A = this chain, B = another copy of it.
Amino acid sequence: MDPVEAHVARVLAAIRPIEPGQLGLEEAQGAVLAAAAVATCALPSFDNSSMDGYAVHASDIAAATSEAPVTLPVTDQIPAGDTRTVSVAPGTCVRIMTGALFPAGADAVVPVEWTDGGAGQARFSQPVAKGYSIRRAGDDVAEGAMLLPEGTRLGPAQLALLAATGHGSVLARGAPRVAVIATGNELSEPGSPLVPGRIWESNTYMLAAAVRQAGGVATRHRAGDDPQTVLGLLEKLSAETDLLITSGGVSMGGEHDVVKAALSGSPAADMSFGKVAMQPGMPQGYGVVGRAETPILTLPGNPVSAFVSFCLFVRPALDALQGMAPRPLPSRRAELAGRVTSPPGRRSFLRGVLAPDGTTVTPLSGQGSHQLGALAQANALIVVPEPVTAMEAGESADVISLP
């Protein structure tokens, strides 16, 4: 059996980053820059006022006090967006709004709160320092400066910086397109009636949601137990997506393991199936399929196994598709509030509830790899190392927080 880390490393080695594209800002959320973004002009691009107030010559009101205020005629007003070239003559002032182009001649802005707010003339009862409330061109970002390095993931603030510096689009790796495929004749659609022997299909809903939560774009697909049909579906999807994820059909059932049967020995695929020393999720496979050599991860069919496999293997693969080093899920040490057990030689990932303060973790009952009830209550996975077969309440364990 492969150690978990060895399987992660082999999966990542099979992944090539997707081709970057020129993405509009709105579609670039979550995308990763494929080249550094540079400021083609300064930000702000012109001197402007940081307050609503009056642009003045500071020397004109140097002697102003509340007892002896100075009154100046207001010769113009400059709202934000006004592109005129306005000048302030000595002994006059100009009304100016936040963000408006700072006028020639003036050397400070007096906030309206310090004045009487007059329209035809304004009364100033205190002096102002030269340069006050002026944002100078380039005081945020200098022209030519690097805004964001290659490899930056674009969130709200990064998109704002790109927009504010005039970028209508960026060269970036967008959300990976992922096809999620469940296999098995036993699968019925939730909401439809069920007969004994059949189950409602849940893995595509779970895995597609997990893909979206991790920043990918997911489509859901289902196939029965015919290997040729499954292979045909996988080849078709491989031409349209950046990653394929199957669930089920990779265990010890021989010809009944349809994913193994479809991909093993096919000239359309290059696969490796094996066992990973973990619980749940032992049977795993990875490789490439189709002419585009699209990477594929074949996860086990038990839903908890598929979920844990997603956290350990698919999430890093999604990061790698965007050219990023994998971001591990947050983990910490916490005190076990109950006993846990684990098979020897396998690393267990047990479902638990991490307390809000993060200090203790309570193992849930129902740790079977088919038991979704506990998984749906869990906010954390308790990690039991390979050589350990039991840990007692009070011991400290590694705990992975679920997203």
Contact = CB atoms under 8 A, between A and B. Distances in A.
A268 interface: no
B209 A29 contact: yes
A368 B100 contact: no
Interface in A139-173: 139-141, 145, 147-148, 155-169
B194 A45 contact: yes
Contact of A372 (B52, B101, B164): B164
A368 to B, nearest CB: 7
A368 B210 contact: no
A161 B370 CA distance: 11
A41, A46, A310, A369: most-surrounded residue (chain B CB, <10 A): A46
A168 B191 contact: yes
A251 B52 contact: yes
A373 B206 contact: no
A220 interface: yes
A160 B191 contact: no
B163 A205 contact: yes
Interface stretch (A3-11, A195-203, A286-294): A195-203
For this chain, the copies found in one complex come to 2
Contacts of A98: 251, 253, 301-302
Interface string A235-253: 0000000000000000111
A373 B141 contact: yes
A195 B83 contact: yes
A352 interface: no
A214 to B, nearest CB: 10
Given A83-B196, A200-B164, A220 B26 contact: yes
Contact of A160 (B167, B195, B303): B303
Nearest to A137: B196
Given A29-B212, A81-B184, A251-B52, A199 B99 contact: yes
A201 to B, nearest CB: 7
Contacts of A201: 163
Given A158-B376, A376-B157, A198 B370 contact: no
A212 to B, nearest CB: 6
Contacts of A106: none
13 contacts: A26-B205, A80-B186, A81-B185, A97-B253, A98-B251, A99-B184, A117-B254, A139-B366, A140-B371, A156-B206, A164-B199, A164-B200, A166-B200
Given A29-B213, A140-B373, A168-B192, 9 more contacts: A45-B199, A80-B184, A80-B185, A82-B186, A98-B253, A101-B197, A156-B307, A157-B375, A159-B206
State the 3 A-B residue pairs at the shortest beta-carbon distance, nearest first.
A168-B191, A81-B186, A81-B185
